Structure 1
Amino acid sequence: MIKYPYLEPNTTIGVTAPSSGLKTELHPWMHAATSRLKAQGYVVNCGETVWTEQKAKSAPAHIRATELNAMLTDDSTGLIFPPWGGELLIETLEHLNLEAIKPKWVLGYSDISVLLLAITLRTGIATAHGTNLVDLRGETDDETTAMWQSILTTKTGESIVQHSSAAYQKEWPETPSPTVFKLTEPTAWRSMSGAPVRMQGRLLGGCIDVIRHLIGTPFGDVRRFREQFISNEPIVWFLENCELNTVDLRRSLVQMKLAGWFKHCAGIMFGRSPANRPVDGYTAEDVYADVAAELQLPVIYDIDCGHVPPQLTLINGAYAEIEVANGSGTVRQTFRP
């Protein structure tokens, strides 16, 4: 059974940096973001790792893990919300005591998706793939991003629906914006077949650049997760690419297939990507076509997920029904135990 945390009003939000922290010149971003949370009634507890960054990490692995362990096991903390991703969260996993976790939400994306997927696979506790904390520093949030609170206050047994965004951000604005993002490009969710698509199953996923490194480790046992927590229900994978060119993306997907991650799979969703650099004419669409053909699965892409904002809040472990037609998409998540 999947265990779903619930975000209580006025709870304590623990902010820690298990991957990258913020250098001094970026501290105002964190102050702005935490001020917004406090204005909404939350208590915000920032750990020391948030304020430091050196050699591609906020602190040595054991220090990051100690701070994260304290928040994961603290009864008063209702949400752990890292400032953003980074590069080397995987260093902390061997130092974490995941079996001692108190059910609570962990929210983030990019390198944070290593932690999210590891927690859900090992413990059956649902985790939330969605916005970064620093992306909430604006005066207002766009409609898609703002859904994170509605999702995290959904109760076990209930359902909640999200829709594809109206527009996405092509590039980061040069000057600060009241909404942080500059959403200028029309959003279009696409299916590999070109026809309307419907898929349903338990959600799992994250940033493929980093979650692929869980394969073959104690933190990436998808088969055990299927058997122990979801009674072998089908899985819908959501994947997003931060930096991989197309052949590296293809290699990663083949590795996932060979590791058995796509067994009992009902479909795959790919987020928009700032990478996807073609190699010798081999495009991302070619990768998606190859995956769809060899796995005989529906594939949709350019969804609101990942490093090209805005993005949905997708719950690892939740039961989802996804429909895509005419460029628009709907995701209904049900917090089925």
Structure 2
Amino acid sequence: MIKYPLLEKGATIGITAPSSGVEAELHHLVKSACNRQSIKGFKTICGDTVWTQEKAKSAPAKQRAAEFTQMMKDNEIDLVIPPWGGELLIEILEFIDFNQLEKKWILGYSDTSVLLLAVTLMTGIATAHGTNLVDLHGEYSDETTAMWEPVLSTKTGASILQHSSKIYQKEWDFNTCSPYVFHFTEHTYWKTTPNEPINVAGRLLGGCIDVIRHLIGTPFGDVQHFSEKHIGEPIIWYFENCHLKTTDLRRTLVQMKLARWFENCSAILFGRSDANMPVEDYTIEDVYQDLRNELQIPIIYDIDCGHLPPQLTFINGAYARVCVQQGKGTVLQTFSP
């Protein structure tokens, strides 16, 4: 059974950095994002880890784990959002007592997806793969990113529909002042293998494949146990590739298959990525076709997920129906227990 938190008006957002903190020269992004949330009626509480960054992490692993756990146990905090991702979140997992975690939303992506997937697999609590806090610092937000609030406000048993974006951002630029967070220049087009309309359903699981792959073979990545204990439907995996070249991505997908992560899987979704460069003549399309041939399931790619925003808010554990036709996509998520 999946347990869904509920975001309500006037909620308090706890901000902690379980992976990377924010360098001093970018503190203004956090402060601006907190101010934007206050204008919308939310309260914000920032932990100490948010403001520090040394040796590729915000603080030692035990300190990061303790601050995260404290926020998850604090009755005054309703939602936890890291400022952004990073590199070494996996260090904190062994120091978290998952039995102490209260039912509340955790929202983020990139390295944060290690924590999201581990929490859902270990506890059955739904987690939210979507915007980071710093993505919310602008005066305006695009309609795709803004869906994080309606999605997290969906009640158990209810459904929420999201649409593919119209345009997306190809490059990041934190130095350009703009009332908009993102700078959209490219047209969104969802693709499929086979190249035909797709309509699939299942329970969502996923994250940044660069980092969640390291959960394979650990107590925090027992997909089979989760499937047997918490869900009865097939899984729809969603992945986004931040840095892996095509051959490394292929090795990772084969490892996931051998670890039985793809058993009872109805489809796999891939976010668009600027890391998908060919190795020799082995292209990203070859990777997707190989996976399709082996698993005999649809592959949907270049979706709104990951480091080329905007991105949809995917709920780990939710039942979803994903439809793609002529480059456009919809994701209908139902918060089924």
- Equivalent residue for 2:229? 228
Q: Structure 1 counterpart of 2:107, which letter? A: L
- Equivalent residue for 2:216? 215
Q: What is the TM-score of this pair, normalised by structure 1?
A: 0.99
- Equivalent residue for 1:239? 239
- Residue identity over aligned pairs, in percent, reads 63
1:185 aligns with 2:186: yes
Tell me by how many angstroms 1:269 deviates: 0.2
Q: C-alpha distance in 2, partners of 1:5/1:45?
A: 19
- Equivalent residue for 1:324? 324
Q: Is the 8 A contact 1:107 1:128 kept in 2?
A: yes
Q: C-alpha distance in 1, partners of 2:287/2:177?
A: 36
- Equivalent residue for 2:85? 85
Alignment of 1:196-211 (within 5 A): 196-211=197-212
Determine helix, strand or coil for the equivalent of 1:45. strand
Tell me by how many angstroms 1:85 deviates: 0.1
- Equivalent residue for 1:103? 103
Alignment of 1:114-153 (within 5 A): 114-153=114-153
Q: What is the TM-score of this pair, normalised by structure 2?
A: 0.99
- Equivalent residue for 1:76? 76
Determine helix, strand or coil for the equivalent of 2:219. coil
Q: C-alpha distance in 2, partners of 1:47/1:200?
A: 38
Q: C-alpha distance in 2, partners of 1:175/1:107?
A: 26
Tell me by how many angstroms 1:328 deviates: 0.2
Tell me by how many angstroms 1:202 deviates: 0.1
Q: C-alpha distance in 1, partners of 2:31/2:259?
A: 42
Tell me by how many angstroms 1:56 deviates: 0.3
Tell me by how many angstroms 1:177 deviates: 2.1
Cα deviation, 1:87-138, whole Å, max 9, x if unaligned, reads: 0000000000111111000000000000000000000000000001001100
Q: Is the 8 A contact 1:244 1:277 kept in 2?
A: no
Q: C-alpha distance in 1, partners of 2:329/2:221?
A: 29
Q: C-alpha distance in 2, partners of 1:22/1:150?
A: 28
Q: C-alpha distance in 1, partners of 2:291/2:315?
A: 23
- Equivalent residue for 2:277? 277
Q: Is the 8 A contact 1:203 1:237 kept in 2?
A: yes
Tell me by how many angstroms 1:46 deviates: 0.1
Determine helix, strand or coil for the equivalent of 1:64. helix
Q: C-alpha distance in 1, partners of 2:267/2:107?
A: 24
Q: C-alpha distance in 1, partners of 2:131/2:98?
A: 23
Tell me by how many angstroms 1:217 deviates: 0.4
Tell me by how many angstroms 1:176 deviates: 2.1
Tell me by how many angstroms 1:74 deviates: 1.4
- Equivalent residue for 1:253? 253
Determine helix, strand or coil for the equivalent of 1:312. coil
Q: C-alpha distance in 1, partners of 2:277/2:163?
A: 28
Tell me by how many angstroms 1:172 deviates: 2.2
Q: Is the 8 A contact 1:72 1:102 kept in 2?
A: yes
Tell me by how many angstroms 1:224 deviates: 0.5
**Alignment RMSD (CA, Å):** 0.7
Determine helix, strand or coil for the equivalent of 1:210. helix
Determine helix, strand or coil for the equivalent of 1:261. coil
Tell me by how many angstroms 1:180 deviates: 1.1
Determine helix, strand or coil for the equivalent of 1:146. helix
Q: C-alpha distance in 1, partners of 2:274/2:92?
A: 27
1:16 aligns with 2:29: no
Tell me by how many angstroms 1:175 deviates: 1.5
- Equivalent residue for 1:290? 290
**Large movers: runs of 4+ above 2 Å:** none
Determine helix, strand or coil for the equivalent of 1:10. coil
- Equivalent residue for 2:112? 112
Q: C-alpha distance in 2, partners of 1:177/1:327?
A: 29
Count of aligned pairs between the two proteins: 336
Determine helix, strand or coil for the equivalent of 2:91. helix
Q: C-alpha distance in 1, partners of 2:13/2:267?
A: 34
Q: C-alpha distance in 2, partners of 1:209/1:297?
A: 22
- Equivalent residue for 1:57? 57
- Please, which runs of 5 or more residues in structure 2 have no aligned partner? none
Cα deviation, 1:175-222, whole Å, max 9, x if unaligned, reads: 222111011111000001110011100000000000000000000000
Determine helix, strand or coil for the equivalent of 2:207. strand
Q: Structure 2 counterpart of 1:106, which letter? A: I
